Amino acid sequence: MDDLKIGCIMDYKNVKTAIIGGGASGLAAAIACSEKLGKGSTVIIERQPRTGRKLLATGNGRCNITNINMSSEHYYGDKSIIDSVLSEFSVEESERFFGGMGIIFRSDGEGRMYPYSNQATTVLDGLRLECERLGVEEICDFLITDVQKKNNVFLISSKTLTVRAKYVVFATGSQASPLLGANGSGYGILSKLGIESSPLFPALSPISTKEKYKNLKGVRTKGKVSLIADEKPLKSVKGEIQFTDYGLSGICVFEISRFVNEFFRLGKICGTSYGKIKISVDVMNEYSYNELYEYLCKCRKIFASYKSDVLLSAALNKKLSQTIARYCGLDSKPCFRLTDSDIKKIVFGVKKFEFTPIITNSYKSAQVSAGGINSDYIDPVTLMSNKIENLFVVGELLDVDGECGGYNLHFAFGSAMIPAKYMK
């Protein structure tokens, strides 16, 4: 590559492809482009000191890379883009791509796939080494602030660097998890080029609630979390629930959060307007109302001489059992005094433990952003701009977000494979 340094301004010339953003999708896109166009053809420009910082934090440091149950049902957003990417990039394709770097996968038994090493570093090191082997240049510590196209050449600029390229791939991710370096700057640069994003909101985040049960902080249990909008149950997810001092967390709460944040951002959920929402938690979802009623009637006898806050203590975490008895207003009543209608009230407390979500800056702890660049601006097949030839958008910048379980990384890697197919 022919580079000139003028004062502190670096001017890289004659690069075929510039990838903006060295995260999951940027690294994978660079590999695909360099394989297609040859050594020295591709640069990655990353604003942080190193590429792949967020990738290292994925899956609690284990990197949940894909999912055996891959299908469009696990995604939200622009359907044409989702279908197009999934049709090009299956789980087998992912295994083949990473297999080329020596990386093998294993499943956790529930469909989630991780690198065999169980370490996200394996994936990042594999991508970096592959970039090195293919002669991809990484230019770190440069925040791209402007992209222009002049005479069929893209001028991609930071304060002190301009890269000129025939092709540009935007892989700057979203603003989710700023502590891991996300800043959402790609949307602004694209907007200056006339490529607008659909409304953005955080997804896969904890939910802050009006009700604060500080004593429940750290309590984890299995159960079912439901989103109720205008008294109608809209979505239920089973799995681990984690109580916090500010509200609710855990995988099933993360999955509900997308709709809560959409409601706060747009007043709508999946296109329908609603007036008010709440979260209902069922902490004994394997038991029907009748089964639970019978069980609690039995416990009423067993714990007859004790206060009602122990009624659930043989089935639930102690703090949770006390909190639910208090939530029902029955914690100080002796068990033998509980009437049948008190027992019914506790059954409802267990199966409909209700919370009111409140707005917070949930990008801080969100794993992804919903919304983004959609097929109004991008061809879903090529991922190239409809208006600006040779400008591609990949990864989380696109209007696609997946459920927990490896779907977001799968989409980031899958979308990254596409632009190279349309480069010469």
* Stretch 353-382 residues interacting with ligand FAD (CB under 6 A): 367-368
Among 54, 74, 224, 351, binds ligand FAD (CB under 6 A): 54
Nearest Cα neighbor of 134 from 217, 28, 47, 56 is 28
125 or 331: CB nearest ligand FAD: 125
Among 247, 250, 395, 419, binds ligand FAD (CB under 6 A): 395
Residue nearest to ligand FAD according to CB distances in the complex = 23
Both tokens assigned to 392: 């591609």
Asked if 77 is part of the footprint of ligand FAD (rule: CB under 6 A), the reply reads no
321 or 415: CB nearest ligand FAD: 415
CB of 255 to ligand FAD, least distance (A): 13
129 or 140: CB nearest ligand FAD: 140
Asked if 137 is part of the footprint of ligand FAD (rule: CB under 6 A), the reply reads no
Asked if 46 is part of the footprint of ligand FAD (rule: CB under 6 A), the reply reads yes
CB of 81 to ligand FAD, least distance (A): 13
Among 121, 183, 313, 375, binds ligand FAD (CB under 6 A): 183
Asked if 58 is part of the footprint of ligand FAD (rule: CB under 6 A), the reply reads yes
Nearest Cα neighbor of 373 from 402, 399, 411 is 399
Q: Which DSSP string do the residues of 100-121 spell out, in sequence order?
A: TTT--EEE-SSSEEEETT--HH
Answer yes or no: are the C-beta atoms of 42 and 14 closer than 8 Å. no
Nearest Cα neighbor of 19 from 411, 381, 397 is 397
Asked if 346 is part of the footprint of ligand FAD (rule: CB under 6 A), the reply reads no
**What HEC string does 16-67 produce?**
EEEEECCCHHHHHHHHHHHHHHCCCCEEEECCCCCCCHHHHHHHHHCCCCEE
* Stretch 6-35 residues interacting with ligand FAD (CB under 6 A): 20-26
Stretch that binds ligand FAD, among 171-179, 265-273, 299-307, 352-360 (CB under 6 A): 171-179
Helices (H), 90-247: 91-99, 120-133, 185-192
Among 30, 269, 409, 418, binds ligand FAD (CB under 6 A): 409
Answer yes or no: are the C-beta atoms of 279 and 226 closer than 8 Å. yes
Answer yes or no: are the C-beta atoms of 242 and 187 closer than 8 Å. no
Neighbouring CB atoms inside 10 A of 123's CB total 28
CB of 186 to ligand FAD, least distance (A): 5
CB of 345 to ligand FAD, least distance (A): 39
CB of 397 to ligand FAD, least distance (A): 6
CB of 372 to ligand FAD, least distance (A): 10
Among 143, 234, 251, 388, binds ligand FAD (CB under 6 A): 143
End-to-end CA distance of the chain: 18
Exposed (0-12), middle (13-18) or buried (19+): which is 271, by Cβ within 10 Å? exposed
Please give the residue ranges that form the binding site for ligand FAD (CB under 6 A).
Answer: 20-26, 45-48, 53-55, 57-59, 63-64, 143-144, 171-173, 176-177, 180-183, 185-186, 367-368, 395-396, 406-409, 412
